[in-house]
Structure 1
């Protein structure tokens, strides 16, 4: 008789294709499917990539309300989902609004509940100001105890501090870097030349930013920076990859500066690894971050990158990244250093040695998923 598969529920992913969603899907891509089954819960009304997951045997659970909006209906929906008999509930968390899912899972006797911190500030406030959301987060953070979950993970130390404060002992915290499928991202000159030619970028200084259009990612700074760079480098082009509620506002700023021919809005893409090959510089001027997957991907491809000082120190994986204060002159100076080209370095060894290869990390994740007893 075949061994029963360990069933994991990832809660929650989104249609925006952000870092949490990409990380959860990467786990599913890499995991031993003979031993593990991953399903997914989402607050999005639809997932464009749902057919692909369903064809692979994944169940997608659509949740219609947040706990704060309708706690009774939310509890009913979570209980219906847990009726599928999950061994592991992997909760991907950015900030605290309560412990509703954790408490329901505890009542239902889910053997392993993993709370996984992915950020260092309020992600998307719903029906409140960011200041009110932070206050709510800290109120709940003070109530965190070891009993709310069986496991406590974080993408970086700062992300652990943000979510758990001092309430979870260090020995119970697991720092889990945002690993990727490295071989997809290693520099490939042929792909670079092909993409640059197809996209009309052959002789351009190509700057790229891959991020949701929202407050956290700070596209406003990116546009102000590009305006300055464009005055010095007439062949500069800015590629903006992603979707989000602030896209229209950023488009208006681009129009105000008459940069429509220089700033390309590419929307959601499924060829990120190839777009990174085509770029000359990657920027991420975030106001706060955990450990962004896009920075891991950019560095794996040997791409020079500039990010804000608010991004966690763990993001400095290679020598190709610079963390700077959000000062336009500093960013302009650093960006212009790479305007005439450079040799992309081979990052294989350093990326593997620092734990960013999902092929190796998945073995550790499988071990942690498999052990479903509370190990306190």
Structure 2
């Protein structure tokens, strides 16, 4: 499994959900990451029997050295028969070295479809075309993401892997909610929540403006942000520490108790610029929360009837705030695990299917 860092992002959480539910006597996941800083999931990976290898970050100035490191890794580890990349087109150098060694299973996984143009768009466009001949398999969370990374032709035989979760783990519990709110100091507060890293697509800048408007409606409310990493983290942290917020924004950092934290929230806000699927939003629905999401999030992420409302990012923060109030007012939590399973998004069956696919394609020893 090739990643940037194993923190709690959507792709990382999805892979860990599968990893926990495969038969690890028959199949093991090891991880090739691009950061020296340990990721949140690394301790659990080791407990599950996985190994973690490190490569340097990919930079233009260090590209030659990076290519040598990738080649050295495969020279030192000829045992791998399956390589599954989750770095989108930035996995190009890994895929190329794997192909040069005739590894029978080389997959790229499309987890998102970037919006618009930025300074890296031309570079990304070039790499995604260069990588395609080296792939033996293509994975995606949905058709939109697959078309972006693989093109229409490549999407025809792409494998759609559901962003499944352990629905029962998130089932609403009044007792857990009461405990979490007491322990976190949330009693008597209306708690708006968000989980995810602090990267640009998550749109924290807009989220803070929405919460500022929401405070005008509910002065006793809190905004709870669970997650770590991303180029916007320090900026959001500095903003949250400003005196005028009066401690109403709580940054919890990377957490391994997300199912419990969701129990203590009252409304989940997800104003992303784009998402491949939005697994955090699925988890919120599994916890029985009302969800307010941007219209840039795929509609197929709304799987529990009546639990998700979409708003355009062109609407003002005040409109978003009023919708948050509407959703939170009088909301009755219920157990939504059955709806998650009915949508085919519970992890057990999906993990079994993916495991057998890996073993069939890679050749079980």
* TM-score of the alignment, normalized to the shorter chain, above 0.5: yes
Q: Decide whether the 8 Å contact of 1:227 with 1:257 is kept in 2.
A: no
State how 1:64-213 maps to structure 2 within 5 Å. 64-66=56-58, 68-82=60-74, 83-94=77-88, 96-97=89-90, 99-121=92-114, 131-143=118-130, 145=132, 147-170=133-156, 172-213=157-198
For residue 257 of structure 1, report the CA deviation from its aligned partner.
6.9
Cα gap change, 1:167 to 1:134, in 2 (>3 Å)? farther
Contact 2:147 2:154 (C-alpha < 8 Å) held by counterparts: no
Contact 2:290/2:331, CA 8 A, preserved across alignment: no
Q: How far apart are 1:141 and its partner, in Å? A: 3.7
Structure whose residues are more often helix by fraction: 2
Number of residues of Structure 1 aligned to a counterpart in Structure 2:
356
Q: Which runs of 5+ in 2 are unaligned?
A: none
Q: Does 1:351 align with 2:357?
A: no
Residue matched to 1:4: none
Q: Structure 1-normalised TM-score?
A: 0.88
SS state at 1:38 partner: coil
Distance in 2, matches of 1:205 and 1:84, equals 54
RMSD: 2.2
| Residue 337, structure 1, aligned to residue 326, structure 2 | yes
Alignment partner of 1:56 is 2:56? no
Displacement, 1:256?
4.8
Structure 1 contact 13–24 (Cα < 8 Å) conserved: no
Preserved contact between residue 143 and residue 155 of structure 2 (Cα < 8 Å): no
CA distance in 2, matches of 1:268, 1:373: 34
> Relative to structure 1, is the Cα distance of residues 260 and 87 closer, same or farther in structure 2, using a 3 angstrom cutoff?
farther
Q: How does 1:179-258 map to 2 (within 5 A)?
A: 179-244=164-229, 245-256=231-242, 258=244
Q: Distance in 2 between the 1:110 and 1:285 partners? A: 40
Post-superposition CA distance 1:227-273 (Å, at most 9, x none): 11111112211101112332332234345571132111111111000
Write the deviation string for residues 325-354 of structure 1: whole angstroms up to 9, x where unpaired: 012233122101133332113212221122
Quote the residue 1:5 is aligned against.
none
Work out the CA distance in 2 between the residues paired with 1:84 and 1:51: 25
TM-score, length-normalised on structure 2?
0.90
